[in-house]
Amino acid sequence: MTVPLDARIPTGPLAQKWDKHRFEMKLVNPANKRRNSIIVVGSGLAGGAAAATMAELGYNVKCFCFQDSPRRAHSIAAQGGINAAKNYQNDGDSIYRLFYDTIKGGDFRAREGNVYRLAELSVNIIDQCVAQGVPFAREYGGMLANRSFGGAQVSRTFYARGQTGQQLLLGAYQALERQIGTGGVKMYPRTEMLDLVVIDGKARGIVARNLVTGAVESHAADAVVLATGGYGNVFYLSTNAQGSNATAIWRAYKRGAAFANPCFTQIHPTCIPVSGEHQSKLTLMSESLRNDGRVWVPKKAGDKRDPRQIPEAERDYFLERKYPAFGNLAPRDIASRAAKEVCDEGRGVGESGLGVYLDFADAIKRLGADVIKERYGNLFEMYQRITDENPYEVPMRIYPAVHYTMGGLWVDYNLMSNVEGLHVTGEANFSDHGANRLGASALMQGLADGYFIIPNTIGDYLARSKPAKIDTSHAAFRDAENAVAERTKTFLSIRGKRTVGSFHRELGKIMWDYCGMSRNEAGLKLALEKIPRLREEFWRDVNVPGSGVELNQSLERAGRVADFLELGELMCIDALHRQESCGGHFREESQTPDGEALRDDANFSYVAGWEYAGEGQSPVLNKEPLVFENVKLSQRSYK
């Protein structure tokens, strides 16, 4: 092992670890905080919350995002809600239950200590956001309302209609703006981090490109936080925003940060099906819809009747049939595979046959269209605009699509990577979700990281490591700037025949076909032949028009796709090496007799932390064993 993956989980009882750890942390004196500078790359929920909170504490923060405003971070797209163990419904919820549901939901591939802390902090998040004025839905009597999400039998999801991410982001954004106003945060919008600068083994800054002028600039700091979101767009078609990318974490990987469980991808069961080759984006239909919508397909293969003409007896409500205890709220990985299975049997609906119904007829009969409209109105409207079908009258058609990446940069309990001073939060880290994230838990994790964890742990790092004063005149910044300039020059000089988008689309298809909803050895090996060939062609034949000293979106995309072409390969290597199924990682060779994911705890109960070994070299696998002291590992069952 060359990269030590020490999780640094505090000792002691599970429920006391975080409190004890905070007590044992070194503190930075309030007057000294302003002498410490911190770079935060990303201003979504994880980055925006972190930047605002650390500036509030007194640190000097520089915050970067590639959009024109922090308000446009991809977090704004989150629809359904955010989990918290408040037990307002008095339905048996508790911090321990949220902890257990998350560990089980992740198919026992996450750390107990981290997940318990996440469940513990979930309750603080709601208080913080309510205090900021986030307009969560309320019951008639004024209490905050809840709904259910997959993988849980309690109602613990707080929401603001189908716009929870937007409302939470407005809260974080206001806090960030306040700090921009006081001078605590200097904001750099439309600026893309293109390299990490590591000096004497410590992260000391970044090199970034001003996307409007093309100027390449260095920024030094005492610590760096990456909160740059997920990398689902490696698949080209996903529910992620078009701009979401892996560049920041990929460059950090190449500077020595371990990449953990890269193949752990979440395929969300309820997205609007692909309608044709022209498409560059898929649209999520929130999991919250499964509170009232029933998922079904015709019992008979090839039944193309209008769904309203198909009698009850000829319908297969396959989730309710297979998973009676959780029904339509089976977790995402399981619901996605079940949908694929019925489509593979020829029972899929819609023109392509790659779709299943999400039907609200019963709910509308029971509750009335007005109640359904109140709960999901904006989602119904979005569906109708995209498909030109009215979901109040005909069932929605849905199909699984790439949605979230559980993998990401490896971090310890303090959210620090193996590169000292490099911290990673939100979807960009490999996080607390194991091999499958439960719905409404990403917002919870991003905000726990940003508001509550990193503001504490970064102080401990700064107090202990006392970083030497360094500025951008250091040679390491010049080297990184030169490397960035050289890469830009190369992109612009190829002048080949293929667009960046065509390479991205082809890579996405390889990833979906061989490293998507199900994977097998032969397919992954084939992908590992195809991806390097495609990458070689990219560097020979890509066409990037324009120049490097102006707004040039082809150039931006070229850099991101070049990184995806490398990351895709690492994902396939990881998926090939993990010869077990767990959560969203379904290896066809490893399944139970009834087709569920079959783990191999004896051989794979670890976090796979991949280490960059240099150009053309195979990455090195480092393992962090997972230790379970509080929960008993079992075959996941939602029946």
Ligand X SMILES: Cc1cc2nc3c(=O)[nH]c(=O)nc-3n(C[C@H](O)[C@H](O)[C@H](O)COP(=O)(O)OP(=O)(O)OC[C@H]3O[C@@H](n4cnc5c(N)ncnc54)[C@H](O)[C@@H]3O)c2cc1C
Sign of the Cα pseudo-torsion (455, 459, 465, 470, in order):
positive
Burial of 387 (0-12, 13-18, 19+ CB in 10 A): middle
Residue that has been written with the tokens 């699509």 in this structure: 401
Answer for the pair 70, 593: CB distance below 8 angstroms, yes or no: no
Options 209, 332, 347, 397, the catalytic residue: 332
Cβ 81 to ligand X shortest distance, Å: 5
Amino acid in position 553: Q
Active site residue 332: yes
Q: Which is nearer to ligand X, 404 or 604 (CB)?
A: 404
Answer for the pair 286, 77: CB distance below 8 angstroms, yes or no: no
Answer for the pair 5, 419: CB distance below 8 angstroms, yes or no: no
d(CA 106, CA 99): 11
Q: What six digits make up the tokens of 532? A: 């390097």
Task: Kindly report the backbone phi and psi dihedral angles of residue 315, in degrees, each rounded to the nearest multiple of 5, phi listed first.
Answer: -110, 145
Q: What six digits make up the tokens of 12? A: 């002691």
d(CA 214, CA 208): 10
Answer for the pair 80, 65: CB distance below 8 angstroms, yes or no: no
Q: What are the Cα distances from residue 502, in Å, to 250, 291, 349?
A: 21, 39, 29
d(CA 249, CA 569): 15
d(CA 524, CA 521): 5
- Give the number of C-alpha atoms closer than 13 A to the C-alpha of residue 46, restricted to the C-beta side: 28
Beta partners for residue 399, in sequence order:
271
Residue 59, SS3?
Answer: coil
Answer for the pair 373, 289: CB distance below 8 angstroms, yes or no: no
CB atoms under 10 Å from CB of 146, counted, come to 24
CB atoms under 10 Å from CB of 333, counted, come to 32
Sheet holding 408-409, edge to edge: 408-409, 259-260, 606-611, 620-625
Which residues does 440 contact at the CB level (< 8 Å), separation at least 6?
80, 81, 82, 83, 149, 157, 287
Sheet holding 265-271, edge to edge: 265-271, 396-405, 356-359, 294-298, 315-316
Q: Which is nearer to ligand X, 443 or 607 (CB)?
A: 443
d(CA 167, CA 130): 11
Task: Kindly report the backbone phi and psi dihedral angles of residue 402, in degrees, each rounded to the nearest multiple of 5, phi listed first.
Answer: -60, 135
Cβ 605 to ligand X shortest distance, Å: 25
Residue that has been written with the tokens 């954004």 in this structure: 173
Q: What six digits make up the tokens of 308? A: 């309203």
Q: Give the residue among 71, 54, 72 at the shortest CA–CA distance from 224.
A: 54
Residue 263, SS3?
Answer: coil
Q: What six digits make up the tokens of 187? A: 């904001």
d(CA 580, CA 109): 12
Q: Residue 624: which H helix or E strand, with range?
A: strand 620-625
Footprint on this chain of ligand X (rule: CB under 6 A): 41-47, 64-67, 73-75, 77-82, 164-165, 192-193, 227-230, 239-240, 244-245, 247-248, 284, 403-404, 426-428, 440-443, 446
Q: Are strands 422-424 and 223-226 parallel, antiparallel or unpaired?
A: parallel
Answer for the pair 355, 343: CB distance below 8 angstroms, yes or no: yes
d(CA 94, CA 555): 49
- Active site residues per annotation: 332
